[in-house]
Structure 1
Amino acid sequence: MGDFLIMAYPWVKGFHIISVISWMAALFYLPRLMVHHTEQVGLEGKTHKIFAMMEYKLAKVIMNPAMMSTWLFGLLLVATPSIVYWGDIWPWTKGASVIAMTVFHIWLMRRMRGFQRGENTVTGRQYRMMNEVPTLLMIIIVFSVTVKF
């Protein structure tokens, strides 16, 4: 298996990067939709139904598959011999940040299901603040991998 992963490494890395870009795009966009849903639309009517549908499709069609493929290809990269030296700090900071990103993803999924039910307990301002979470985590992840401190 190790020889196969070494040969497939450039392809796995490419698919990992594509998956991450897709996941990040969704993680950036869904909270923005929720800001507008909260501040401009409300929880009733035709526009509410359109926003709830857009949020649902973004989450289920793009965000969930992108997260799963990010994890799959990332774990394949970790399993590739001689790629990760666990004595360094960077794999741990990246791993912790990816787990935090996944927790944020789950939080967004719960908010999306709330909108589906016509419920929302988060303000537009709170969604704006939460929209910064993936940016901060992305910065940690990128510098962990590129600087390898």
Structure 2
Amino acid sequence: MTTILWLKALHIAFMVAWFAGIFYLPRLFVYHAESDNTEVHSQLKIMERRLLYFVTPFALLTLILGVALIYMMGYQWFIVSSWLHIKLALVAILFAYHGYCFKLLADFQHDRNTKSGKFYRIYNELPVLILFAVIILAVLKPGI
């Protein structure tokens, strides 16, 4: 049981670090999309790249530790935990979101962004909604 608690604690810690980054990155994209200043663009390009590459290992560690938790809990537990299947679907959406951030980063890096600040403001809200749902599922474990 101690191993499972350590895995949970580390899973949550890396998830928090990952989310800090994916909450802030689209905010940088908002500033970038709304600025006409080339010096600001140059600084934001550096910040965006560093941030995305900094938080990506946290995303991977969150995933690895989550898989380890599922493994430790056992196959039978996994099969009957329907709440977990929904949570995993939401996590898959988050990884797609994270991957799309690389595409958006490349667009900014090559001065090809065509999206507005409003798009990035809305884009910034998606992980918040998913985080709420994931926490509710993980804590309440509803028998869906």
When normalised by structure 1's length, the TM-score is 0.88
1:12 is aligned with what amino acid? L
* SS of structure 1 residue aligned to 2:80: coil
Match of 2:108 among 104, 115, 123: 115
Whole-angstrom distance in 2 between the partners of 1:103 and 1:115: 19
Distance 1:88 1:19 in 2: 23
Structure 2: unaligned runs, 5 residues or longer: none
CA contact (8 A) 2:29 2:117 kept: yes
Aligned-residue offset at 1:12: 1.1
Matched, 1:18 2:13: yes
> Superposition pairs for residues 96-107 of structure 1, below 5 Å?
96-107=89-100
Query: 1:76 matched to which residue of 2?
Result: 68
How far the C-alpha of 1:31 sits from its partner, in A, is 0.4
Residue 31 of structure 2 corresponds to which residue in structure 1? Answer: 36
The answer to whether the 8 A contact 1:93-1:140 is kept is no
**2:80 matched to which residue of 1?**
87
Question: When the two structures are superposed, what TM-score results if normalisation uses the length of structure 2?
Answer: 0.91
Structure 1 position 82, deviation (Å): 4.9
Identity %: 28
Q: How far is the alpha carbon of 1:109 from its aligned partner?
A: 1.3
2:129 paired with 1:129: no
State the superposition RMSD in angstroms: 1.5
Q: Matched residues in 1 for 2:64 and 2:74: separation?
A: 18
Q: Is the 8 A contact 2:35 2:41 kept in 1?
A: no
Query: Aligned-pair distance for 1:104?
Result: 0.6
Count of residues in Structure 1 that have an aligned counterpart in Structure 2: 141
Q: Flag structure 1 segments of 5+ consecutive residues without an equivalent.
A: 1-5
How big is the shift at 1:88?
3.1
SS in 2 for 1:80: helix
